[in-house]
Amino acid sequence: MADCIFCKIIAGEIPASKVYEDDEILAFLDISQVTLGHTLVVPKKHFRNMLEMDGEAASQLFARIPDIARKVMKATGAKGMNIINNNEEIAGQSVFHTHVHLAPRYTENDDLKLTFVAHEPNFPALAELAEKISKA
């Protein structure tokens, strides 16, 4: 895709600090470095996001992530790792080429903040929703 920044990186038109590359996948350091070692893993074939990918393409992408994540953790000395994928603007996607963030974690006070709010479970409503999803 001509106007996609990640496609331009893949094509070598824009420089990137590459940490892994093969025929299908490219991983490079995010220029924002939310945490030290923040890496993006992208398929070389353009997909808008994970929702557009087929099983084979997703399998190619996710098959490489554990090894790349371990290498990032080893190189940076991180204590943990958030592996994040955002799909569509409402979910925080800002570049519309499938990518997975590998965000090394060092302390609870580093620059990445994720908050989940727990709610009292409504088991009948959950069962109804599960059935609706399974039939969709």
Q: What mean pLDDT comes out for the span 77-90?
A: 97
Q: Which helix (H) or strand (E) holds 18?
A: strand 18-21
* Residue range 5-110, CATH number: 3.30.428.10
Write the pLDDT tens digit of every residue in 39-69: 999 999 999 999 999 999 999 999 999 999 9
> Residue 65: its pLDDT value, please?
98
| 101 carries an active-site annotation | no
Give the dihedral sign, CA 54/2/100/41.
positive
CA 105, 34, 17, 53: dihedral to nearest 10 degrees?
Answer: 90
Out of 38, 97, 99, 101, pick the active-site residue.
Answer: 99
Q: What is the pLDDT of residue 59?
A: 97
Q: Output the DSSP codes for 77-115.
A: T-SEEEEE---SGGGT--SSS--EEEEEE--TTSS----
pTM: 0.93
Please state, rounded to an integer, the average pLDDT across all residues of the chain: 96
DSSP state of 52: G
Q: Map out the domains of the chain as residue ranges.
A: 5-110
Contact 97, 46 (CB under 8 A): yes
Residue 92: pLDDT over 80: yes
